[in-house]
Amino acid sequence: MVLAAHAGAQSGYAADTTAFGKVIEAGRLENTSIREASGLARSHLMADRLWTLNDGGSSPELYAHDLSGQTEGTVRVVGARNVDWEDLASFESRGRAWLLIADIGDNNSRRDHCTLYVVEEPDPGEQERSRTQVDRVIHFRYPEGARDSEAAAVDAINERILLLSKRSIPAMLYELPLYPEDAHAIVIAKRLGAVDSLPQPTGQDLQRALPEKSWHWQPTAADIAADGRSAAILTYRAAYFYTRDPEESWIETFRREPSRLDLDSARLAESIAISPDGMAIFVTLEGRRPPLLRFSRDSLKNQERQ
């Protein structure tokens, strides 16, 4: 894989070329209701299905797609409100498949608290629009007060939710319980520490950010593999893949040097998902009919079979 130099990086990021090939366009998200696919998650019920959702202010709906972006249905989430939905995670827990909707956007850092909705993974069915009910709601605050975030991931094995701040430099990692003891209380997220392994902006980057509308270093999404052994963080211009050692905490993992997965000329990357088998990473961008990009480990899988 050929890597582009990152303007804000303080050190080089070596691509894990033995694991992932060059990014390809697998298709486009064809559902015309999607104006900004702020979250992306793999299905745990159907191997060839992806879920996505719209950014804040939109209807509380989930959209199902196949792996080329073709529409498979729309599901309205009853009991949820889309204030600023920014990420979507899928996981298996206690014998069932779930989706976590992260209503965590807060551009001006003014929200009293943010909200996570947990729904059992639905079947979009044959109807144009079906419905599903929220199973659990988690309200939370950050220990320092309000802040903006677009990245949420679920560590189902340890029953933890990870959140990564967007606008702080460096990004801060937080943790919440997947099953809070008091289901009605506002949970205070636990601050785990700074994720300084991601490229940091230079002074020039910060000066140019507003006039050029370029905040390329900011995290926009995250995902954890189903087996808990790897994770990916997305920024506007690249994905960063981390492998986790046994018994290692996530903050320790995210402080080690990742592999950079370059998006070529793509900008405004918005959402990321790791397939359940860990053999592919999918990325979407902002805008209508966004491309569905894929990094594949098929070449490595084929080598192992030989």
- pLDDT tens, 78-115? 999 999 999 999 999 999 999 999 999 998 889 999 99
> What would the pLDDT profile of 149-195 be if each residue is shown by its tens digit?
999 999 999 999 999 999 999 999 999 999 999 988 999 999 999 99
List, for residues 246-282, the tens digit of each pLDDT value.
889 999 999 999 999 999 877 789 999 999 888 899 9
Tokens at 105, concatenated: 């956007």
Average pLDDT over residues 129-151: 94
| pLDDT on residue 228 | 93
The pLDDT value recorded for residue 13 is 32
Q: Which residue has the higher pLDDT, 203 or 191?
A: 191
Q: How confident is the model at residue 127 (pLDDT cuts 50, 70, 90)?
A: low
Q: Report cis status (omega within 30 of 0) of the bond before 170.
A: yes
Q: Please state, in angstroms and rounded to a whole number, the distance separating the CA atoms of residues 206 and 167.
A: 12
- The rounded radius of gyration (Å) of the Cα atoms in the chain is 18
Amino acid at the residue 107: N
> Is the pLDDT at 210 greater than 50, yes or no?
yes
The Cα 244–Cα 231 span in angstroms is 8
Cross-strand bridge partners of residue 280: 296
pLDDT score, position 17: 41
Q: With 60 as the cut, is the pLDDT of residue 4 above it?
A: no
Query: How many residues are there in the chain?
Result: 306
Comparing CA positions, the residue from 117, 153, 116 lying closest to residue 132 is: 117
| Mean of per-residue pLDDT scores for the chain | 88
Q: Is-above-0.75 flag for pTM?
A: yes
**What is the pLDDT, as a whole number, of residue 299?**
44
Report the sign of the C-alpha dihedral through residues 293, 68, 149, 186, in that order. negative
pLDDT at position 301, please?
Answer: 43
Share of the chain above pLDDT 90, in %: 70
**Mean pLDDT, rounded, for 34-59:** 93
pLDDT tier, 141 (very low <50, low <70, confident <90, very high otherwise): very high
Q: What is the pLDDT of residue 205?
A: 81
Q: What are 303's two structure tokens?
A: 């080598």
Q: Under CATH, what is the fold of the domain 24-305? A: Neuraminidase (2.120.10)
Per-residue model confidence as pLDDT tens digits over 6-24: 333 333 333 344 478 889 9
Q: 126 pLDDT band (50/70/90 cuts)?
A: low
